[in-house]
Structure 1
Amino acid sequence: MAPQGDENYLTTAEVARRLNVKPETVYAYVSRGQLTSVRARGRRGSLFAVTDVERLASRSIEHPGVVERIETELTLLQDDEVYYRGHPVRELAKTQTFESVAELLWTGELAPSEPFAAPPEVVTLARTAMELAPPGARTADRLRIAVAVLGAADPLRFDLTPASIVGTSRQLLGALVTGLPGIQTDGGFAARLWPKLSPRPAYPHILKTALVLLADHGLAVSTIAARVAASSRANLYSVVSAGLGALDGHYHGAATTFAYQFLDRALDDPVKALSDELRSGKPVPGFGHRVYRQRDPRAEVIFELLAGQPVMDRVHEITARVNDFPNVDLALATLMHAYDFHPDAGEAIFALARIVGWTAHALEEYQEPGLRFRALGNYTGPAIS
C-alpha cells in the first residue's frame, strides 16, 4: 500500500507519459512483472514507484518485451467481412479507384485521386533496375530489385513526415507500374498494369477491383514485417522491402501461384488434380483461411465479376468437392486464367496492391515509440561454463 500523497509514486497516466507509451502498455508491463502497481488509500487507480519507473526508462530500449496488441485505425476483419477505415471493402472495390482507396488508407480521406505519376528519370531508373534481373526472374523479383535501387537513389528517403511518405509511395507505385516491361498505356493504375500482365484486351475495372481488395488485410505477416521495419525508423523503401521479403514466403504471397498451378491442372482433369492434392496431405491450394470462418468476401467479389467465364465452371466443380470455401488466392488465380495473365502475375498484383497497405501501416508506426517490437526470448542453449 502506497502512502497517501507520497510524491515517490506516479499514476498510470504519469508513467505512460514518462515512458512515452500508452496506458495499455503500462498494464502490459505489470502483467509481465516489469512494473509493480500499488494502491493508495482513498485514491482510485494504480500507483507506481518512481524508482521502478526510472529503472525501466533507463533500459537501452524504450519498450522491453513483446507488443501483444497493435492498435490500428486501418482495417477491420469482422464477421467474415473487411472494412477500410469503416468503409466496407466490397463497396470500395465496386465504386472507387485504386488510387482513391490508397488515399483513404493513407490519409483517412475518401475522394477522387489522380493516377500515380513519377518523374521520367525515376521511371527510367526503375526500368533499368528491373532489367538487371536474370532471365526467368519473376515479376515480383524485379519489383524487389527496383524498390531497393529507387531507395538508394532517393537522397530524401529519411524524411518520415506523413506528407513525404505519402508522396514517396505515390511516386514509387507510379515508377514500378510504368517501369515494368510491356506495353505502355495511360490512365489509372489498373489500366497501366493490365498490359504488363496479359496480352488480352484490357478490363481494368476487374483488375482494379482485385487491387482494392488486396490493398490491406490487417496484421498479416508481411504487414508485421513492415511495421517492425518502420519501428526502427527505416525509410519507406526499406519498409516496403521488408514487406516484400515476407510476402515471398510460400505461406503468403506464393499461395496465389500455388492456386494458379492447381487450377491449371484442374482445367484438364479436376478430379485427378484434386486427388493429387488430397494425397499430399496438405490443404488444397486456394481454399480455407486462418481468419475467415465461412467465406472470404474478397473472393466472392472477384467471382461475381467473373460470372460467365468458362473457367468458372471448373471452379464450381472443384468447390463442390472440397469441404471448405474458396479464398482470394483461388479467385485471383481464376482471374489470371480467364484473361491469360502471366503465371507469376498473381504475386505481382498482390505485392503492388499491398504496398498501399504497408505504407499506411508505416504511417501509423512512425507515430509510435521506436523499437517497441522487442521480443523476450527464452534461452534454451548450453549452460554457462
Structure 2
Amino acid sequence: MSWISAEAALGLLGTKPQTLYANVSRGRIAARPDPQDPRRSLYRAEDVERLAARQRGRRPAQQVAAETIAWGEPVLPTEISAIVDGRLMLRGEDAIALAETATLEDIARHLWQASHRPDLTGSTDLGVPGLRSAYLAMAELAATQMPTPGRARAVLIDEAEAALATMATALAGPGAAPMHERLAACWGRPEAADPLRRALVLLAEHELNASTFAARVTASTGAPLAAAVLTGLAALSGPLHGTASQSLGPLHDHARRAGAESAVIATLGYGQGLPCFGHKLYEDGDSRAAALLGAMTVPPLFSELMAEGERLSGEKPNIDFALAALTQAYELPEDAPLQIFALARSVGWLAHALEQIETGALIRPRARYVGPAPS
C-alpha cells in the first residue's frame, strides 16, 4: 500500500483541495498524517487512482462488480424507496413533505401497504426501557414467531405489527399514545415530541443501507420477521452506521475548548474526514438533516460547527449531525440517536422483509477468491 502527497493526489484528480477533502470525508479516499511532518497528510494512492479512473470513465469489470456492493449501483429491485435528485422518496412520496405531518405509524402503513395503521399499544412491562430491553425482547420474539414461507400477506402484516409494537414498548415503555409522544414522555421531555416525530419519519427508511440489506438477507431465508428486525438491529449498532453520531463527540469537545473554526481546521489538517458531514448519496447535502435541523432551535455551538464545517470542507451536516444536535438541544439520553434510529428503521426493515418474502428468492452472493492458489 502506497501513500502520496496532497499535491500528487490533486495532480491525478485534477480537482481543488476542497474536493479532495470532501472525498476523504465521504470515505472515498483514505488519509493519514505524514510521518515526516504531522501537519501534512498523505493519501492512499490506490483510492486516488481508482477515483481518477472513474472520472475518466475507465473502470475494470471486476472493480465495477466489487464496488456495486459498496455504495455502487443498486443490487436489488425495490418499490419501497429511492433517492432521486437529492430527494428521499418513500413509495413515490417525498419524505421531507411527509415529515411535516405524518407519524411513524402513518409511515408504517404507507411502506407496508397495509390496510390500517399498526397498533403499537404496549401493555406488557419489558423491563427498563432502552436498547438492552429491545435486544432481549426481539430475540425472544424471533425465537417464537413462525417462519414466513407459505403464509398469507395479511398474516405477515399482523406479525410485522407485533414486531414493531415489541420494539416500541421495549424502547419507550408501555403506552397507547403515538410513538413520538411515548418516546418523549419516557425521556421526560414532552417538548421534544414534534422534533422526535419528524426524526422518526425521516429515519424510517433509506434504501439498501447496511442494516436493511442485512435484514433483507435474513428475510430471504424464510426466517421469522422478528429475526429480520433483530438482524437489522445488530447491524445498526456499528459505529459506521447507527452510532455514527457519537463520532461527533471529539470534534464538539474540541470546538467547546478552542472554537469551531479551530476544531474543524485541526480535524481536516490531520487528514481525517469531518465526522457527521457529507453523505455519499446526497451530492448537495443530506436533505433529511436540513429538514430536522430546520424544525428545531439548534444549539449555538452546533450552528457554528455547521457553518465552519461547510466553509472549510465543502460538505454539509448529515442526519447523524442532526441527531446529535437534537440530543443536546433537548437533553436527551446519550444513546438517544441510536434508539431513535432503531425504532424508526424497524419500519423500513419490515417493509423490505415483506417485499423480499414476496420474491421467494434467497439472497446468496458469490465470492471472488483472492487467496493462495490450491496446491
* TM-score range for the pair, normalised by the shorter chain length: 0.7 to 0.9
| 1:273 aligns to 2:241 (yes or no) | no
| 1:80 aligns to 2:86 (yes or no) | yes
Question: Residues 148 and 223 of structure 2 are in contact (CA less than 8 Å); yes or no, is this contact kept in structure 1?
Answer: yes
Question: Residues 145 and 226 of structure 2 are in contact (CA less than 8 Å); yes or no, is this contact kept in structure 1?
Answer: no
1:106 match: 112
SS class of match (2:189): coil
Give the counterpart letter for 2:336 in structure 1: A
Distance in 2, Cα, partners of 1:252 & 1:308: 23
Q: Map 1:253-268 onto structure 2 (within 5 A).
A: 253-259=242-248, 262-263=251-252, 265-268=254-257
**C-alpha deviations, 1:256-315, integer Å up to 9, x for none?**
222355435534532343244324532111101111101111011111111465455334
2:205 match: 216
SS class of match (2:99): helix
Distance in 2, Cα, partners of 1:323 & 1:359: 36
**C-alpha deviations, 1:82-113, integer Å up to 9, x for none?**
1101111111000212101110000167x7x3
Give the counterpart letter for 1:87 in structure 2: E
Which residue of the other structure, out of 338, 343, 355, is the alignment partner of 1:352?
Answer: 343
SS class of match (1:378): coil
Question: Residues 121 and 176 of structure 2 are in contact (CA less than 8 Å); yes or no, is this contact kept in structure 1?
Answer: no
| Structure 2 CA distance for partners of 1:276 and 1:195, relative to 1, 3 Å | farther
SS class of match (1:95): coil
**What's the CA shift for 1:161?**
3.3
Instruction: Tell me the TM-score normalized by structure 1.
Output: 0.70
SS class of match (1:219): coil
| Structure 2 CA distance for partners of 1:291 and 1:155, relative to 1, 3 Å | closer
Which residue of the other structure, out of 170, 193, 196, is the alignment partner of 1:207?
Answer: 196
1:92 match: 98
SS class of match (2:294): helix
Q: Map 1:352-371 onto structure 2 (within 5 A).
A: 352-371=343-362
Distance in 2, Cα, partners of 1:191 & 1:370: 39
**What's the CA shift for 1:344?**
0.9
**C-alpha deviations, 1:305-356, integer Å up to 9, x for none?**
1146545533444334432111111011111110001111101111111000
Which residue of the other structure, out of 121, 138, 145, is the alignment partner of 1:147?
Answer: 138
Question: Residues 240 and 359 of structure 1 are in contact (CA less than 8 Å); yes or no, is this contact kept in structure 2?
Answer: yes
Which residue of the other structure, out of 268, 271, 284, is the alignment partner of 1:294?
Answer: 284
Task: Work out the number of aligned pairs and report it.
Answer: 302
SS class of match (1:366): helix
Unaligned runs of 5+ in 1: 1-30, 33-66, 132-138
Unaligned runs of 5+ in 2: 1-60, 63-72
**What's the CA shift for 1:149?**
1.7
**What's the CA shift for 1:75?**
0.4
Give the counterpart letter for 1:360 in structure 2: A
| Structure 2 CA distance for partners of 1:312 and 1:275, relative to 1, 3 Å | closer
Give the counterpart letter for 1:339 in structure 2: Y
Q: Map 1:148-187 onto structure 2 (within 5 A).
A: 148-152=139-143, 154-156=144-146, 158=148, 160-180=151-171, 186-187=176-177
Distance in 2, Cα, partners of 1:266 & 1:150: 44
Distance in 1, Cα, partners of 2:339 & 2:279: 21
Distance in 2, Cα, partners of 1:341 & 1:333: 10
| Structure 2 CA distance for partners of 1:315 and 1:115, relative to 1, 3 Å | farther
SS class of match (1:246): helix
SS class of match (1:237): helix
SS class of match (1:117): coil
Distance in 2, Cα, partners of 1:294 & 1:188: 33
Instruction: Tell me the TM-score normalized by structure 2.
Output: 0.72
Give the counterpart letter for 1:324 in structure 2: E
Q: Map 1:226-237 onto structure 2 (within 5 A).
A: 226-237=215-226
**C-alpha deviations, 1:170-193, integer Å up to 9, x for none?**
2233233333477x6651011001
Question: Residues 218 and 231 of structure 2 are in contact (CA less than 8 Å); yes or no, is this contact kept in structure 1?
Answer: yes
Distance in 2, Cα, partners of 1:70 & 1:308: 37
**C-alpha deviations, 1:209-267, integer Å up to 9, x for none?**
00000000011111111111111111111111111122122211121222355435534
| 1:116 aligns to 2:120 (yes or no) | yes
